[in-house]
Amino acid sequence: MADVGKTPVARNEKTNNDFGYVGIDAILEQMRRKAMKQGFEFNIMVVGQSGLGKSTLMNTLFKSKVSRRSLMKTEEERIPKTIEIKSISHDIEEKGVRMKLTVIDTPGFGDQINNENCWQPIMKFINAQYEQYLQEEINIERKKRIPDSRVHCCIYFIPPTGHCLRPIDIEFMRHLSKVVNIVPVIAKADTLTLEERDFFKQKIREDLRANEIDIYPQKEFDEDAEDRIINEKIREMIPFAVVGSDQEYQVNGKRLLGRKTRWGTVEVENTAHCEFAYLRDLLIRTHMQNIKDITSSIHYEMYRVRRLNENNTHPNGQQAINANGVPEHEVLSHEM
């Protein structure tokens, strides 16, 4: 007679003990269903002087007109007198997976005669998003799901000079790498020869090391040996030399995204032509969740701890100063 209440074991089923299959692995399917219902949020900032193809690269990455400039009329295009920070959100769906993508643009960065401290408005904006999230988090009756406007990743566009980083590049990344995940890219890399590109990439890596700029993926956040191996390969490739295009051309009987020149077609997704595919894989296919995790558990957490400590250590109304040197009232004064 069969034992009453005993869970039957499926044939050829692997078990960890003598009592048969428990079903712990079903949690993965439960998590997947919940995530599919909720959807995802990803906030990406693009920084660089005008004319480097920031809008085109964003459209190429997500194969949609997601950039702010794509929705502007021609007569609206102008170089602002000061740095303006503009964000635009899109709902993207692919194979049943929904994502709210917010692209944050910084027109005016690096386009002025005097670019001193041009990183400050961007720092203030990033901190303001952390502050907004913090205020929602400490509410007595907080929302079941707090809207996440925190900047998860900043793509920094380096002009293809072929020499070394400019002072403005170093200053920006040195300050901002402390509060956001920075991924530097060489814009319009098809203007460089392969030899010039390799030399430029090497010089940039040397400049980053010399100035102690920690770009994503940061060594100190590698979780294990497997992560270290994968991330080390990425770190050896950074900065990615990219080309963006939302134009399709016929190449060997196939329709491909590319840039047509007198000498042929630069295929955007061909790794022999540029490193766009590596950038796309990092941001979307392999490291998106890790980028969000580091934003939440490292960058935001550092901001949260600092702010809560400030509230405890300034009882006499003294002005609180952030670790980045920006007075607290200025951090919160920047509006979108």
The DSSP string of 252-286 is TTEEEEEEEETTEEEETT-TTT-SHHHHHIIIIII
Which pLDDT does position 79 carry in this prediction? 61
Q: What is the pLDDT, as a whole number, of residue 209?
A: 96
Which residue in 159, 188, 157 sits closest to 173, CA to CA?
A: 157
Per-residue model confidence (pLDDT) at position 325: 44
Which residues have C-beta within 8 Å of that of residue 182, sequence separation ≥ 6?
153, 154, 156, 173, 176, 213, 215, 216
pLDDT given for residue 179 in this prediction:
97
Among 244, 260, 267, 283, smallest CA distance to 59 is for: 244
How far, CA to CA in Å, does 157 sit from each of 34, 54, 242, 243, 293? 36, 7, 10, 11, 23
107: closest CA among 70, 82, 75, 71?
82
Three-class SS state of 123: helix
**What is residue 144's predicted lDDT score, i.e. its pLDDT?**
86
Mean pLDDT, contiguous 10-residue spans, the chain (336 residues): 51 57 91 88 95 92 78 56 84 91 92 87 97 93 91 97 94 97 97 95 97 95 92 96 91 88 89 95 96 97 94 59 48 42
**Residue 219's pLDDT is what?**
92
Q: Where are the beta strands (DSSP E) in the chain?
A: 40-47, 86-94, 97-105, 153-158, 182-186, 240-241, 248-251, 254-261, 264-267
Give pLDDT, residue 35: 87
H or E segment and range at residue 126: helix 120-137
Which pLDDT score, from 0 to 100, does residue 77 have?
54
Two tokens at 218?
């940061």
Homologous superfamily (CATH) of 31-67+79-244+272-308 is: P-loop containing nucleotide triphosphate hydrolases (3.40.50.300)
